[in-house]
Amino acid sequence: MARFEHFGPNPDGRDYAVGDIHGHFTRLEATLDRARFDPARDRLFSVGDLVDRGPESPRALEWLEQPWFHAVQGNHEVLTRQYVDGDPQLDPHDYRSSGGTWFMESSPAEQMLYADRFSQLPIALEIETAQGLVGLVHAHCPFSSWTTLREYLTGALPYAIELEEAFQWSRARLKQRDESEVRDVRAVVVGHTPLRRPRRLGNVWHIDTAGWSEGYFSLLELGQLKVVPA
Ligand SMILES: [Mn+2]
């Protein structure tokens, strides 16, 4: 399975990114309708965390079958794998309190299906736009250059265990208010940390505005880097 995915440009439609969904596909559909999202021409890229917390986690599989929907792997997708594998690092109480009850109560066959599908999701992806390359990763780009991230995830650099958690768990940029640019990429889009409104630090866009909770779903249009709704 590829840990990195590349998408060519979409000359006929628009490309959007959306933050963490966490089992709220009906709410997301309403946001897409308001934005006049056209599945025949437009594409939607998710920063991951499709499941847990909301009532519609099982729908993640049906969304991943849509040709216009693409996602990277969030830490909640990793939790399904850890649970199925009986990973001692995963505390079942923690998993339950972070929304994993629906998964723990699914049949073993269903659990396998979800974990296998989510394991196929890339850690990061990139999209060509007319204005330049845009990258997506769930939480954090642990490199100062997107080229280095691509090289790492395609196996051109040695595996480093400490980097693996950073992609899906790190909040370092927000905590340090780090405004540095990630080189070789126009913008990097991440989720993982719920915010009241989208926040750009350097060229990194944090777009989880908690549509799965008390907030709303922000769509970032990747050509103009404009947020919908503004
Ligand atoms: Mn997350």
Q: How far apart are CA 27 and CA 94, in angstroms?
A: 26
Say if 127 falls within a structural domain: yes
Structural domain includes residue 30: yes
Domain assignment present for residue 196? The answer is yes
153 near 124, Cβ under 8 Å?
yes
Range of the domain at 28: 4-74+121-227
pLDDT at 162: 87
Residue 148 lies in a domain: yes
Give 164 Cα–ligand 1 centroid separation in angstroms. Answer: 14
Distance (Å) from CA 11 to ligand 1 centroid: 31
User: From the CA of 119, how far away is ligand 1's center (Å)?
Assistant: 15
Report the distance separating Cα 51 and Cα 67, nearest Å. Answer: 19
The number of beta carbons lying within 10 Å of the beta carbon of residue 11 is: 7
Specify burial of residue 91 (Cβ count, 10 A radius: 0-12, 13-18, 19+).
exposed
Low-confidence stretches of the chain (pLDDT < 70) are none
Instruction: Work out whether strand 187-190 and strand 43-46 pair parallel, antiparallel, or are unpaired.
Output: unpaired
* Predicted TM-score of the model (pTM): 0.97
* Residue showing tokens 């926040």: 199
CA 61 to chain centre: 15
In a domain, 131, yes or no: yes
Q: Does residue 107 sit within a domain?
A: no
φ, ψ of residue 108 to 5 degrees: the values are: -55, -35
192 within domain boundaries: yes
CB 74 within 8 A of CB 47: yes
- Sorted by sequence, the CB contacts under 8 Å of residue 162 that are 6+ apart come out as none
Q: Report the CATH number that the domain containing residue 180 is assigned in CATH.
A: 3.60.21.10
Q: Quote the number of domains for the chain.
A: 1
Taking the centre of ligand 1 as the mean of its atom positions, its distance from the CA of residue 197, in whole angstroms, is 17
Distance in Å, CA 9 to ligand 1 centroid: 27
The string of pLDDT tens digits covering residues 39-61 is 999 999 999 999 999 999 999 99
CB proximity list for 164: less than 8 A, separation 6 or greater: none
Q: What is the pLDDT of residue 217?
A: 97
Amino acid 200: pLDDT: 98
Is residue 101 in some structural domain? no
Q: How many CB atoms lie within 10 A of CB 62?
A: 11
For residue 12, the CA-to-ligand 1 centroid distance in Å is: 32
